[in-house]
Amino acid sequence: MTFEELGIDKDIVEALAAKGITSPFPIQEQAIPLALTGQDIIGQAKTGTGKTFGFGLPLIQSLGFEPELGAKALVVVPTRELAIQVAEDLKLATSNRPTAVAAIYGGKAYEGQIAEIDAGAQIIVGTPGRLIDLSKQKKLNLGNIRFMVLDEADEMLDLGFLPDVEKLFAYTPDGRQTMLFSATMPGAIVSLARRYQNRPVHIRVNDPDEGHTKADIAQFVYRAHSLDKDEVVGRILQSEGRGKTIIFCKTKRQAGKVSEELIDRGFNATALHGDMSQEARERSMATFRSGKKDILVATEVAARGIDVDDVTHVINYTVPEDEKNYLHRTGRTGRAGRTGIAVTFVDWEDMTRWKHINEALELGIPEPVETYSSSAHLFSDLSIAAGTKGRLKATSITPEMAKARREADRRDGPRGSSRPGARGNDRGSGGRPPARSNDRNDSRKPSSDAPAKSSAPKSAPATETHGDGEHKRPAANRQRRRTRGGSS
């Protein structure tokens, strides 16, 4: 089966073929012919199975070769990173026709996005908050929308965007064609479809015998100690055939810390978390997609919807909150027909949560094997060469890696960087300990303590500073009390 056989125009087929995309996936084979007829669709398929072109190609073709200016199609996605990715895919498909695609999302200046809308972009891809904001400001007119798509609808529900999605439906005309794509189909999504779709056809592309997780992802679950995780990760990153890797962390601080640790160990890592500015997040994703950085350390929310085809490994540095998050995380690998490996670390205190995930997904791993960086089964499971350590040798560090480490050392703030503001961390200062300050939270605050002490009378008791306060007990008296206490 080819895209042309599915009824897709030749110019779109050629645009895809130029990037090596020639054969449709099952969800595309089923969704495209129906969508071209104007039918409302509910498309259900596991993450990484090609849903974007399943709705994108018929949407582009239905608009016509040269559609009139102004927003005619709206694609709503849950995250900024996914908005960028979907817009790039649609721009690829429209590269041989004048149709314009605009990505509208928060964290960026309004001016550039408004300029794209004013220029007449026909396809709008955006996150709910920014779309509603621009609509309220009368900068984005959704009154002429003919096609509306909800992509990753279940993630939108998980992130609390359902009320915003309902507002967007209210801004669009009733006669639109509506397509809803999701990996899972919770009750709230079904209710949404009933309210806003017209007799939709439900397409489900899953093998009944495949189970909850994708069959082409090998699952490894280890009970690991928190103090040994970095060493284990370092060895996994040197496994045979390891390509792009995403490491999921629970918190922003942890993501920054793990990224910094891997850079220090010689690996080409970058971070993605909510404390980074939007420009820094986009820069991290761009370097990861291009392969300049092959390891992305991310929080779950920041990495939701990341669509990078050639991710070979996903490492859950911490146990996900529930089975849905587990599927979202592990679904970042094994995409577009490829195979993948998912490794999950379970701390001793996370065993209850893991047992719930295991039962819900029927993984058959109720008791993860206790694993250390020296465990023989770790090396055999993941094809790690014997004797491998979790730190690259100096001769293995490429100039690009060395440059990445220097850049990471220069960055010193949580916003606009991939490293958190590391209080008490002297790694970026050549090993020299940081200067002490009476105000630990702001080293820029001018200190008046030194002049005050130098002008005090010689008979004044010595002061001892702790945090923001002072204890004025004379040092000599304190020593004498210790002596008396010790002698008694």
* Number of neighbouring beta carbons within 10 Å of residue 250: 16
Cα–Cα distance measured from residue 1 to residue 25, given in angstroms and rounded to the nearest whole number = 9
Cα–Cα distance measured from residue 122 to residue 130, given in angstroms and rounded to the nearest whole number = 17
DSSP code of residue 446? P
CATH number corresponding to 10-205: 3.40.50.300
Q: Which residues make beta-bridge pairs with 464?
A: 471
If DSSP codes are grouped into helix, strand and coil, which group holds residue 176? coil
Give me the pLDDT at residue 466, please: 40
Tokens of 379: 């090396």
Give me the pLDDT at residue 1, please: 83
Quick one: CA dihedral 205, 210, 212, 213, positive or negative? negative
Name residues of the chain where pLDDT drops below 70.
47-48, 206-215, 302-305, 336-337, 394-488
The domains of the chain are located at 10-205, 217-419
If DSSP codes are grouped into helix, strand and coil, which group holds residue 390? coil
Q: What is the mean pLDDT of the chain?
A: 81
Q: pLDDT digit string (tens) for 339-352?
A: 899 999 999 889 99
If DSSP codes are grouped into helix, strand and coil, which group holds residue 480? helix
If DSSP codes are grouped into helix, strand and coil, which group holds residue 64? coil
DSSP code of residue 152? S
* 51-63 vs 80-93: helix crossing angle, rounded to 10: 50
Cα–Cα distance measured from residue 5 to residue 13, given in angstroms and rounded to the nearest whole number = 10
Q: How far is CA 395 from CA 50, 235, 262, 398, in A?
A: 40, 17, 16, 8
Q: What are phi and psi of 433, to 5 degrees?
A: -70, 145
> Which of 165, 16, 32 shows the shortest CA–CA distance to 95?
16
pTM: 0.65
Give me the pLDDT at residue 446, please: 41
Name the strands in the sheet holding 311-316, side by side, starting at the edge strand that comes first in the sequence. 269-272, 295-299, 244-249, 311-316, 340-346, 217-224, 369-371
Give me the pLDDT at residue 445, please: 41
Q: How far apart are the first and last CA of the chain?
A: 92
Helices then strands (H, E): number in the chain?
19, 16
Q: What are phi and psi of 351, to 5 degrees?
A: -65, -35
Q: How far is CA 110 from CA 45, 113, 134, in A?
A: 34, 5, 9
Cα–Cα distance measured from residue 437 to residue 92, given in angstroms and rounded to the nearest whole number = 53
Half-sphere exposure of 129 (CA within 13 A, CB side): 12
Residue 89 near residue 289, CB atoms below 8 Å: no
Give me the pLDDT at residue 327, please: 84
- Which long-range contacts does 130-139 make (Cβ < 8 Å, 24+ apart)? 130/104, 130/105, 130/106, 131/74, 131/76, 131/104, 131/168, 132/164, 132/167, 132/168, 132/171, 134/104, 134/110, 135/168, 135/171, 139/110, 139/114
Residue 313 near residue 1, CB atoms below 8 Å: no
The answer to whether 10-205 and 217-419 have equal CATH topology is: yes
Cα–Cα distance measured from residue 229 to residue 384, given in angstroms and rounded to the nearest whole number = 16
Cα–Cα distance measured from residue 368 to residue 220, given in angstroms and rounded to the nearest whole number = 9
Q: pLDDT digit string (tens) for 390-449?
A: 999 765 566 666 666 566 555 544 434 444 444 333 333 334 444 444 443 443 444 334
Residue 152 near residue 181, CB atoms below 8 Å: yes
- Residue type at 278? Q
CATH topology of domain 217-419: Rossmann fold (3.40.50)
Residue 249 near residue 298, CB atoms below 8 Å: yes
Give me the pLDDT at residue 48, please: 66
